[in-house]
Amino acid sequence: MKQEFLKNWDTQMKKGLLPLFVLQLLQTKECYGYEIIQELKSVFGIDVNEGTIYPLLIRLMKEGLLQHQWVEQASGIPRKYYTISTEGKAVYAEMKKNIELNIQNLK
């Protein structure tokens, strides 16, 4: 039943929801990029591409909503750990308020 339409709609929804999910995730837990992809899958049940998440994290950094630090590993590639900033928390609250207002209108 209109599977392609619904799949496309889902992609469009992500353009709005994804920053929200990432900001919330980082409020409960410090994460690195690759880990965020896995958390989004297990916690929110959504699949996100690497080509989506890395540019998104860079955008949120530029906006001052996140901070990050490189952490060397005993073995393997270093990880870039992200944390949410004070401003990030405020923006998250604003976004959440906005979206809940919109959803209220759905009957």
Does 107 participate in binding a second copy (rule CB under 8 A)?
yes
Q: Which of these segments, 27-35, 84-92, 97-105, binds DNA (CB under 7 A)?
A: 27-35
Binding mask 26-65 for a second copy (x = CB under 8 A): -xx--------------xxxx----------------xxx
Q: Please provide the size of the chain in residues.
A: 107
Output the six-digit token pair for 97: 């308020």
Q: Which CB atom, from 58 or from 93, has the smaller least distance to DNA?
A: 58
Residues 80/70, Cβ–Cβ less than 8 Å:
yes
Q: Are 66 and 83 in contact (CB under 8 A)?
A: yes
Q: Write phi, then psi, for 73 (nearest 5 degrees).
A: -105, 150
Binds 34: which of a second copy, DNA, none (CB < 5-8 Å by kind): DNA
Binds 89: which of a second copy, DNA, none (CB < 5-8 Å by kind): none
CA angle 83, 32, 54 (to 5 degrees): 100
Name the burial class of residue 57, with classes exposed (0-12), middle (13-18) and buried (19+) by CB atoms within 10 angstroms of its CB: buried
Residue ranges binding a second copy (CB under 8 A): 1-2, 5-6, 9-10, 12-17, 19-21, 24, 27-28, 43-46, 63-65, 87, 90-91, 94-96, 98-103, 105-107
